[in-house]
Amino acid sequence: MAQIELSAGTIDYRDTGGDGPVLVLVHGLLMDASLWDDVVGELADGHRCVVPTLPLGAHARAVRPEADLSLPGVARLVTELVDRLDLRNVTLVGNDTGGALVQLLMCGDTSRVGRVVLVSCDAFDNFPPGLTGRTLLLSGKLPPVLFGLFMQQMRLRAARRLPLAFGWLTRRGDAATARWVRPAMRLPGVRRDAVRMLRAAATNTRFLLDVAADLPGFEQPALVVWAREDRVMPPAHGRRLADLLPGGRLVEVEDSYTLIPLDQPRTLAALIREFVTASART
């Protein structure tokens, strides 16, 4: 992992380098860059994959106490990263709440954005998403010390597999979820960041409805990839997003829950590769 100093503090990120098309892949709440490991493994030969670990509760390095940890503030960190690395014609890829961050970016300055991929993500009125998201936002009301105690139960696989945890987010990714919960259990600064982020998110749970009103203004190519069996992100939202975007196209994926990068990484990588190649020709 490399590090870069942004306005919020030091951010870890993975950069595969190379001269191929640039992909910036964005994870969701209580996740880190490893969400994308298997997808990057499929795409790194021929693409430059840049994957930040954002301060969303599973980061290993606390940010500055004054950092803006609202979701718009975290989205701006992605913009900062793209600017600092001077990335151009970027394909933004977002899954889970990472897709909400990408939607925020689609409504801002898109001069460095060539196309987007939205992968089973928060949209419209689905924030916080499902039982998992509601439980997580409620946990943010706890003081950081108690939040850490709350997270201790996630040491147990049985707890992680509950619907209010990661059970309805991934079929096959328990090893990844076990990694993601460790920083908040062990690091006081990360617990502080997680609580601040969750409290900021709870102040406006309707923001994606405002974002949706602006999405038709995004005219670059957009691929919407949705898990057909998703129990947290309604499949109807995938169809609505694809219809809303002038350059939108929907593909549904079988045998997966929300975290398609964990459950069906090869399928997702193939879809991204095909999309980037085809849209670059037009």
Condensed to tens digits (0 to 9), the pLDDT of residues 65-91 reads 999 999 999 999 999 999 999 999 999
Instruction: Say if 56 falls within a structural domain.
Output: yes
Domain count, the chain: 1
What's the confidence (pLDDT) of residue 202?
97
pLDDT band at 282 (very low <50, low <70, confident <90, very high): low
DSSP H or E stretch at residue 26: strand 22-26
What's the confidence (pLDDT) of residue 167?
97
DSSP H or E stretch at residue 232: none
What's the confidence (pLDDT) of residue 259?
98
Instruction: Say if 145 falls within a structural domain.
Output: no
Instruction: Say if 195 falls within a structural domain.
Output: no
What's the confidence (pLDDT) of residue 21?
97
At 52, give phi and psi (nearest 5°): -80, 150
Question: 196: helix, coil or strand?
Answer: helix
Give 101-149 pLDDT, tens digit per residue. 999 999 999 999 999 999 999 999 999 999 999 999 999 999 999 999 9
At 63, give phi and psi (nearest 5°): -95, 180
Mean pLDDT of 199-212: 97
Mean pLDDT of 215-242: 98
Whether residue 219 is predicted with pLDDT greater than 90 in this model: the reply is yes
pLDDT band at 281 (very low <50, low <70, confident <90, very high): confident
Mean pLDDT of 5-17: 98
What's the confidence (pLDDT) of residue 280?
82
Spatial CB neighbours of 75, under 8 Å, sequence gap ≥ 6: 101, 104, 105, 108
Crossing angle (nearest 10°) for helices 71-84 and 188-202: 120
CATH number of the domain residue 209 falls in? 3.40.50.1820
Mean pLDDT of 23-50: 98
Give 42-59 pLDDT, tens digit per residue. 999 999 999 999 999 999
Instruction: Say if 37 falls within a structural domain.
Output: yes
Instruction: Say if 34 falls within a structural domain.
Output: yes
Mean pLDDT of 194-218: 97
Beta strands in 54-131 (DSSP E): 90-96, 113-121
- The two tokens of residue 128 are 């916080």
Give 231-274 pLDDT, tens digit per residue. 999 999 999 999 999 999 999 999 999 999 999 999 999 999 99
Instruction: Say if 171 falls within a structural domain.
Output: no
Share of the chain above pLDDT 70, in %: 100
Share of the chain above pLDDT 90, in %: 99
Number of H helices, E strands in the chain: 13, 8
At 53, give phi and psi (nearest 5°): -100, 110
Instruction: Tell me which residue range forms the domain holding 74.
Output: 2-129+204-281
Our CA angle for 173, 176, 182, nearest 5°, is 140
Instruction: Say if 143 falls within a structural domain.
Output: no
**Rounded to two decimals, what is the model's pTM?**
0.97
Instruction: Say if 196 falls within a structural domain.
Output: no
Give 153-165 pLDDT, tens digit per residue. 999 999 999 999 9
